[in-house]
Structure 1
Amino acid sequence: MALGNKRTTLLVAMAALILQPSAASRVGGGLARAIADPGNGDGDGGIPQLPPQPRECRPWLARMMPCAGFLTNNSTVYAPDATCCDGFGSMFTLDTVTCLCHVVDGDIGKLLPAPMSRMRMVELFSVCGHAGRVDLLAAACSLMDGVPPIDLPSPSPLMPSPSARRLGD
């Protein structure tokens, strides 16, 4: 299987793990039909095409910042509020599914004001109404090639050309 097909298959599997049942059946059913009938004419061996994934995840992860008190075991926050669950729910789309890897592997902790509680992160899935298995999602993330970074790398500063340095001497 080509690398692009492997990545797409993992994305579809991740989507089936985390999307609501009705959406998951559409994605999973489409995958099953494509594999059963690989002659679908798209030239990639039967794997359905998913939307392009984001180049960086910070804009999507920022939507989860209302969850910071809950995720960091803040002693005054016993349950996530509606804005937290709304932000968390926005991560469950086909075009941002890979950014959830930063949630399950704990990288989102880099954006939080205190260390993230793994137990609270696992609770967040069920409390906010997402029945996906976190362990299966984490396993799929560990197999992924090319999970978008939280932030794009900073561009390196431009070095002056050798001729420009001679002019300033």
Structure 2
Amino acid sequence: MEMQMNRTMISRSSAFVALAVATASLPVQSASATVSNTVMHHMSSADWQAMRETAGWSRLRSKLVRWKHLPSDWDGNDGVAPSCDTTDACSAFLEELQHVEAPLPEAMVAGDGEVSYEWSKGEAFASASFTADGAIFIFLRETEKTIPLRLELSSLDLAALNPFFQRIGAFA
């Protein structure tokens, strides 16, 4: 019983170290000194992939926090940080994307405080832009032959975004 508890504690510790490696916040050399190869081999490839995906979503959320605190003129062109309303809408959007198991998007911030996410795969392209005034612009095209999805919302409405959430899985 006690031995099993210790093994569980080691496995949890290993998972945190592996997560730190996956997010590049801990060098691999430090991780190998911290976690034995035996423990790392107990992780299935599905567990490892799930941990890497979780780390990816965490990095996206961390970007939002950093962007919210950008200084004035951060881009040398009078750039402004995204507003709290913009970053809050983006956070809710990211939560829903993760919930529907969407692929990780590329994230970017513009000098006017707009936050955008993009996906591309072959001919397919999708984007979601969150403007400083609260508007949200969605575009999704699976192939040149399909009719693109275009949505323009004055504020975040997750129910109105369902057609997007249903189709974004094509980018996996």
TM-score normalised by structure 2 residue count: 0.25
- Which structure's residues are more often strand, by fraction? 2
- Which structure's residues are more often helix, by fraction? 1
TM-score normalised by structure 1 residue count: 0.26
Which structure has more relative contact order (CA 8 Å, sep 6+)? It is 1
